[in-house]
Amino acid sequence: MALPYAEVIGDPIAHSKSPKIHGFWLKALGIEADYRATHVTPDALPAYFAARKADPDWRGCNITVPHKIAALDHVEDREDVRTTIGATNTAFRDVDGALVGTNTDAAGFAAPLKAFNLAGRPVTVIGAGGAGRAVLYALAGIGVGPVTLFNRNVDKGAALLSSFGLEGQALPIGDAVPPSALVVNATSLGMTGQPVLDLDLSALPGDAVVYDIVYAPLETALLAAARARGLATIDGLEMLIGQAAVAFERFFGTTPPRERDAELRAILLR
């Protein structure tokens, strides 16, 4: 008898740590199920979802670059993800068998920020793709002050700020970072195989937080520069584990053992 399973899809996908995270939780809880990484190209995305819909053992998938927006066309949007965050990072089989899209990135991103007082304070975000949308959605919920959004397409950036009800400005990547209480890299820049994100952090106050959602490598050039200035930092594993925990509940119907996060991080860093 085949085991129930979930997976992570993307292009590329070999770098993903999601199988280790979900595999750790499945083993810790004694759940007989599997979690795997599956390479899916953009052209193959429609066939992928058609096949999974017909597979009774499939419980869902995490969705990474470049599918977070395109996947919305292949799942039911019962949580109004399209008109709120505008991107999905998780699909799951609902109780009636339907494939439903959701977004766990926003909750995963926001969780470690609860330790900081960011309400009404200026924030800088780099990137307006699928992850950037989740970040902006979460920041709107926190009630941050003006947001400076760096993006290759400035018009797109300005439209996104407006859609989330955020005051601020959109600028091209490469402009100087203004004084900010929080700087977030919501792009793949700095990831292994990608160009380095080179930002001048000199304008940041001493209590600023620098948050890089990239987790391969965990110590990015951006975080190293922030630590060299003595600034607080949040690495990509925080968001990765946080969003995975919400998805795990959708896939397997139970809460993962977050009290073992330190053990899980040690495994992921090996």
**Catalytic residue positions?**
68
Helices 18-29, 261-268: inter-axial angle, 10-degree rounding: 140
Q: Give Cβ neighbours of residue 246 (< 8 Å, ≥ 6 apart).
A: 90, 104, 107, 108
Q: Give Cβ neighbours of residue 175 (< 8 Å, ≥ 6 apart).
A: 150
**Residues β-bridged to residue 29:** none
> Tokens 């391969």 appear where?
216
Question: Cα-flanking dihedrals φ and ψ of residue 209, to 5°?
Answer: -115, 135
For residue 4, give the amino acid letter. Answer: P
